């Protein structure tokens, strides 16, 4: 597609519920990043994929967070047993391998845990 | 390691006045530098980027930024503010995709720009 698509746009989860957030990157973009943006903060890195390989997951806050990109295109970020501190906007970005080409961000998924 | 500091979480200007949003970075290797704008309930839109070519970078909507290596700065400017410029602006740094950084972006905390009529 023309841009990075994320779904759902909004998600309300009860504490303890599992959620799955989807990212559909630009076709042909090798690199895919997930970021977490808490209210009033800048986005913070969660994890990075190069094609289907998850090369960096150093930003995942706990083992309740899991991401996959099995065929090197669509990616899913899963959060198990959600907690209130997981409430944030989750942004996906894709790019060609070199950052000099820039990154294209999706509109994000706003997760609210109640 | 890389980091970004945006000076001033809120900046307020009058319509037609100069816009100056400050960004200082830290990077152990030559950086790529970016400015993004975020409107409410939207994702990040790229304004401009520095990728080791010209140090004065022109972007969309009349914005420009100058890379100053000696001052480790990448301030964003616009000569004349417009009401539609009101948004949150983020400065970000990344490095080459080689090594362990994988080209990931490190963002500043953001600056909210308010434009008064």
For B88, list phi and psi in degrees, rounded to 5: -105, 135
The verdict on a CB contact (< 8 Å) between B104 and A105 is no
How much is the pLDDT for A103?
Answer: 87
pLDDT band at A69; cut points 50, 70, 90: very high
Q: What is the pLDDT averaged over residues A22-36? A: 94
* Best CA proximity match to B36, nearest among B14, B59, B57, B10: B59
CA-nearest of A85, A93, A73, A74 to A111 is A85
Pick from A80-84, A95-99, B17-21: least confident: A95-99
The nearest CA of chain A is from the CA of B14 a distance in Å of 23
What pLDDT, on a 0 to 100 scale, did the predictor assign at position B101? 63
> What single-letter DSSP state applies at residue A66?
E
Whether pLDDT at B1 is above 90? no
CA distances, B76 to each of A25, A112, B105 (Å): 28, 33, 18
Interface contact A64, partner B, CB < 8 A = no
Of B90, B74, B94, give the one whose Cα is nearest residue B27.
B94
pLDDT on residue B2: 84
pLDDT higher than 80, residue A52? yes
Q: Residue B69: its pLDDT value, please?
A: 87
A55, A103, A104: residue with CB nearest B105: A103
The mean pLDDT value of chain A amounts to 93
A1–chain B Cβ distance below 8 A for any pair: no
Average pLDDT over residues B39-48: 89
Please name the member of B43, B104, B106 whose beta carbon is closest to the beta carbon of A48.
Answer: B104
């Amino acid at each position: 597609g023309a841009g990075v698509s994320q779904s759902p746009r909004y998600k309300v989860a009860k504490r303890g519920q599992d959620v799955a957030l989807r990212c559909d990157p630009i076709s042909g973009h090798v690199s895919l990043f997930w970021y977490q943006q808490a209210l009033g903060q800048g986005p913070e890195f969660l994890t990075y994929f190069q094609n289907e390989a998850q090369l960096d997951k150093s930003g995942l806050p706990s083992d309740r967070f899991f991401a996959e990109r099995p065929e090197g295109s669509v990616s899913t970020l899963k959060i198990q047993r959600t907690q209130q501190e997981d409430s944030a906007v989750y942004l996906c970005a894709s790019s060609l391998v070199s950052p000099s080409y820039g990154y294209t961000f999706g509109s994000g998924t706003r997760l609210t845990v109640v | 390691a890389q980091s970004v500091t945006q000076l001033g979480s809120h900046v307020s200007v009058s319509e037609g006045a100069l816009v100056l949003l400050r960004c200082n970075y830290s990077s152990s290797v030559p950086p790529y530098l970016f400015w993004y704008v975020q409107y409410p309930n939207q994702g990040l839109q790229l304004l401009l980027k520095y990728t080791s070519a010209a140090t004065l970078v022109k972007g969309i909507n009349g914005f420009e930024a100058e890379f100053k290596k000696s001052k480790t700065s990448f301030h964003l400017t616009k000569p004349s503010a417009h009401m539609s410029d009101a948004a949150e602006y983020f400065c970000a740094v990344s490095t080459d995709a080689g090594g362990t950084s994988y080209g990931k972006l490190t963002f500043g905390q953001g600056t909210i720009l308010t434009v008064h009529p």
